[in-house]
Structure 1
Amino acid sequence: MKKLMSFFDQIFTTILDQRIEINKAAEGGAKETKDFLDILLQLHNGSDPKIQLTMSHVKALLLDLAVGGTETTSTTTEWAMSEMLMKPETIKKAQEELDSVVGKDNILLESHLPQLPYIEGVAREALRLHPGLALLIPHVPSVPATVAGYHIPKGARVFINVWAIQRDPSFWENPNEFMPERWFSTSNGKLDIKGSDFRFFPFGSGRRSCAGLNLAERMLTIILASFFHSFEWSLPEGTKLDLEEKFGLVIKRRNPLVAIPTPRLSKAELYAA
């Protein structure tokens, strides 16, 4: 663990030093846009006297973004592929859509995503059955509250079991079944991913929801689309696929997925583009 943390520290130090030099070189000229890193460095330099942000704080925030964002996305991708391999007909439907919109002679682009509703349904169904954080991030009320007749004292640590809510049979038909088609229904099709409806909020809700939810959904969709557009997938001979879970902060497969890709595009050059 110490070696890993040292590795990340070296990467962040290099990135921060480079950005500091760039900002120094730009002093005196108007910088058109400022990204997240620029804002953190501004706060570190004391632009807001109410916020005492050290360089260690900056690195910790960057680590949270890097690790938190990549692990949950890769885990959900693995679950989505597992569910689809358990139901080969979903792979067939996804590839038919991809071949119709993109074709086997072209490279998948981000601009294709709005024309891939079935792939979007696959991503949302994976997030429904396998949210990145089953209990979300703990919430701590600043004042006492009563919710559904339960008293919640100030400072209590509250966990929301979104995994159970998104499998609740009173909200979902066949709740434990992987059904991307459910997202084409009139009621479910209107559900957004931002937590405005408490039947489906894999990234939380309100001001404390995941800041990267739009990016996460888009990344999950384009990764799945790329995988199934470019390759056929099969299991190693003699492998029996299961969906057994391993509980933790992020719920992963107990047995990591092993799948074999076979190229399906028309030209080998497309894989090198």
Structure 2
Amino acid sequence: MARIRTIKPEFFTSLTVAGLTPEQRLTFIGLWTHADDEGRCVDDARLIKAAVWPLDDRTAADVEADLRALTESSLITRYTLNRKPYMVVNGWREHQRINRPTKSRFPAPEDADSPPTSGNAPSVDTHAQLSEDSRPERNREQGKEQGTGNRDSSPELATRDTDPTPEREDVEQLCTHLADRIEANGSKRPTITKAWRNAARLMLDKDGRTPQQVHAAIDWCQDSEFWRSNVMSMPKLRDKYDTLRLQATRPTAAHGGNVVPIGAARPSTTDQRVAEGMALAARLRAQEAAQ
């Protein structure tokens, strides 16, 4: 199964790589995505052809010729164990650094039945460091096939809802408040994920917002065009907070000058917010009666 890898610019200026044909170079690069997290795979030109050249007219014999050239250049090592052929990309651990790698199910070259074949030239630095998680269940591309994968690309907002630590009360109140508003707006009540909690926590701790300011932003969204033009979530609220602040502090005819800036202090309990809403409604009725 294919994996995400990266490549260093030095690959294109390597004298060893320059001695290969373009097809051999591409086969070599394709091996990185075909090999497992320890750089190993089954040594079968038919499998490699299917993985690296699936839509081209190249044959397994062509790929076998590529593999022989890569072996002669010391870019790969071919070996057997119990009469089964395997290969490994040389210099893998030095140049492909993978977080939480999956342990290989293939034997290592040192366990081979006979001395491995890897040519006589020194290994070259042709790989790039990889900082992404590469286990199948965390790999974004593989997740599409397995029904898993990352749900948010932001490193600050991991979406796995498996945090065993007790959540802060102020963070839970913000998330619950937004979920209540979304449900009251006629949408299905969303699940409060770890991404929501992280975004709320970042607004309070990193952005310097007070709980009252965030509650006010949530309330303002409920009655604004902004709500209807955005799929609301706690990460989206954090991302658009400054835009909301500017819009909410700009009185409009629709609001009749009664806009409450979202940066102002705001009652944080449900009873207080209900009381404030009733008071505002009474003021609006009094204004209408006076007109």
Q: TM-score normalized by structure 1?
A: 0.27
- Larger Cα-atom Rg: 2
Q: Which has the higher contact order (CA 8 A, sep 6+)?
A: 1
Q: TM-score normalized by structure 2?
A: 0.25
